[in-house]
Chains A and B, each alone.
Chain A
Amino acid sequence: MSIITLEGISKVYQTKEIETTALENINLSVYKGEFVSVMGQSGCGKSTLLNIIGLLDRPTSGTVTLLDQNCNALGDTALSHFRNRNLGFVFQSFHLIPSLNVEANVELPLDYASGISGVERRRRVDEVLERLGLSHRKKHMPAQLSGGQCQRVAIARAIVGRPSIVLADEPTGNLDSRMGAEVMDLLHSLNKDDGITIVMVTHNEAQARQTDRIIRFFDGRIIS
């Protein structure tokens, strides 16, 4: 069953002087429980694709359907709620909020969710931190953590809201190989054990080969 369906997606950036096509007529289906990696040269449109799947950007044309919901029709507020309930994000540069400690960073998506009590929030945060081996770091600030720990916190934040889909944009790009491997193990575990569908942008061929499917991009088009 397709959980992510892109039909005829194009994205064109228009300035006064030039028109740049980032994505051109992309058709893609990702199935529930799949771990898909997206590869291609820098600037070929991988991140744009991820942003469109993540509902952070709108396509110039085409239809985005996530979890059987046509997302083109949703307004900004509805998109925010949809992201909060169904999507998790992992960024290359972690993007933890520097003013908040680990616990508060992980709790962030729950701050924007409705109907979750304070007790339930803390329980979920503790559970996720425990699972990712970060319980002893929960009062630490991001500046006090290593890169690997930061990315684990970012993954904890991505999954604390129990999303169906996690979108990871070069999650190991800023980590050394050992920490990168740890993070990949973690993502595989989330995919296998929790059935979370993962779409990961990567430059790392070896890591891509560990995933269920590789989508290769070139100049805004899927080539394989």
Chain B
Amino acid sequence: MKKKLIQIVYDMRTQPVVAWVTIIGTALSIFLIMTVMMMQQVKIISIAPESHRDRMLYGMFLHEDGISSDAENESSAGLSYETAKKLYDKLDGVEEISYVEQGWASLDLKGTNNKKFTGDVLYADDGIWRVFDYELLDGRYYTPEEVDAGTKVAVVSRSTARKLFDSEDALGRRFELDHETYEVIGMVADVSKLTFMAYGEVFAPLDKSKTYGESDSDFGPYMTLMRVKDGVDLEDVRAQVKKRYGELDAEIASRNMKTVYHGAPFDQETVAGGVGGSNITPQDTNGLRIVIYLILLLVPAINLSSMLHSRLRRRVSELGVRRAFGCTRKRIMGDIIVENLIVTVAGGIIGFAVGVLFALFYDGLYTSPDDETVRPALSMLLNWRILLSAFGACFILNILSASVPAWQASRLNPVEAINAK
């Protein structure tokens, strides 16, 4: 390894332009990859309070259609509380469940300072405190009894407390939420909009009675958040839900209706892919994403490959001498690929650092589901999955850019190589 580093330093000294263009080119490619990857990964990797995204399932929508083909009463929307219970309550393998209103509501808030502002309110049952890992700074969370009784209590985020009361001393104080008076019983640390399922500035008990249309409608504003037990296959949970869809079919057949199953409940990756609104069918975006990553790597790889080719042209005679003294073709290839990997990783570290700084300080890169710009925290970006992805991208870039020149170098005729000028 020491000799490889010496060789790299020597190359940099003898061909500084080529060496630095290689490093900067690599840095730019990794920066691009990292930017795209981080934008995608922050929606998937576990970030507090969504600390178990890999084990989360979301029951969000219901799609019903007429049994007969001429029926024109197709509907799709969120769930009524009753339907949500029918489909998702007490599933085997689910350790925690919460029923919430879909998305946060931006509502008028007014505190003791009489300043009126709009705050994001998440209406949820008490399960939300167990499904997610909120950081309780003061007070307590609301109880199932308070949810059932519709008690006007709320948990607020620290910054909301400051806005409402010009102080973090919020416990027991009252404020107006959508023209109703609530009492603060707890304060949690601020939640990033990037953790969009757990996000809220105010958390208030869920009113379970809302439906869309008739009071016995299957549709409503609710969804379920489920955390599956460690080691449980998400497909096993889906299989149970699919069976319950069948039971629901039997119930609604009398109305000449049937359900259309779209693979619910969705996992984090599916939800992060943009399922929602009229798009209730998850799109498989993995293939497209891989193609985009490969294109992002392939273009610089071609350039870096020609740079490496240029660096190796100066070493042809040396490669011939190495072959004469017993270096095998495989070893020549391996050595060149490892040397190039060291350069690529050096460029990758620079690219990764620039990518992180860009993500932290450039507005507009990350947006919440309501299209608001969000700046991620450093801890979100320095996740092991993102770091591993960066190294993986360096490795693939290295293989793509070094394979052909290394293979060509290993195939040099030793006699011609030794005598090369």
Question: Residues of A at under 8 Å CB distance from B?
Answer: 51, 54, 56-57, 76-77, 80-81, 83-85, 89, 91, 95, 97-100, 104, 108-109, 111-113, 157, 161
Contact = CB atoms under 8 A, between A and B. Distances in A.
B327 A112 contact: yes
A-B CB proximity, top 7 nearest: A84-B326, A99-B10, A112-B326, A109-B325, A80-B328, A56-B414, A95-B321
Contact of B324 (A81, A89, A98, A104): A89
B409 to A, nearest CB: 14
A97 B321 contact: yes
A99 B6 contact: yes
Contacts of B3: 100, 104, 111
B415 A98 contact: no
A83 B326 contact: yes
Contact of B325 (A76, A100, A104, A157): A157
Contacts of A81: 326, 328
B322 A108 contact: yes
B326 A113 contact: yes
Most chain A beta carbons < 10 A, residue from B14, B320, B323: B323
B302 to A, nearest CB: 27
B262 interface: no
Given A51-B415, A100-B3, A104-B3, A95 B317 contact: yes
Contacts of A98: 10, 14, 318
Contacts of A95: 317-318, 320-321, 418
Interface string B280-321: 000000000000000000000000000000000000011011
Given A95-B317, A98-B318, 10 more contacts: A54-B324, A56-B415, A77-B330, A80-B323, A80-B327, A81-B328, A85-B326, A95-B318, A98-B14, A112-B322
Contact of A83 (B6, B11, B325, B329): B325
Interface in B1-36: 3, 6-7, 10-11, 14
Interface in B383-404: none
Contacts of B318: 95, 97-98
Contacts of A56: 323-324, 414-415, 418
Given A56-B414, A91-B418, A95-B418, A80 B326 contact: yes
B162 interface: no
Given A91-B418, A112-B331, A100 B326 contact: no
Contact of A108 (B14, B317, B325, B418): B325
B343 to A, nearest CB: 14
Contacts of B328: 76-77, 80-81, 112
Interface in B26-70: none
B332 to A, nearest CB: 10
Interface in B322-346: 322-331
Contacts of B322: 97, 108, 112
A138 to B, nearest CB: 15
B367 to A, nearest CB: 49
B89 to A, nearest CB: 66
Contacts of B330: 77
17 contacts: A56-B415, A76-B328, A77-B329, A77-B330, A83-B324, A84-B326, A91-B321, A95-B318, A95-B320, A97-B318, A97-B321, A97-B322, A98-B14, A99-B7, A99-B10, A104-B3, A111-B3
Most chain B beta carbons < 10 A, residue from A80, A89, A98: A80
Nearest to B413: A57
A112 B7 contact: no
Contacts of B326: 80-81, 83-85, 109, 112-113, 161
Contacts of A113: 326
A54 B320 CA distance: 13
A51 B330 CA distance: 22
A112 B325 contact: yes
Nearest to A82: B326
B43 to A, nearest CB: 46
A95 B322 CA distance: 10
Interface string B230-270: 00000000000000000000000000000000000000000
A76 B329 contact: yes
B46 to A, nearest CB: 44
Contacts of A91: 321, 418
Nearest to A81: B326
A51 B14 CA distance: 30
Most chain A beta carbons < 10 A, residue from B11, B14, B414: B414
A210 B76 CA distance: 100
Contacts of A99: 6-7, 10-11
Most chain B beta carbons < 10 A, residue from A56, A57, A104: A56
B337 to A, nearest CB: 17
B338 to A, nearest CB: 13
A98 to B, nearest CB: 7
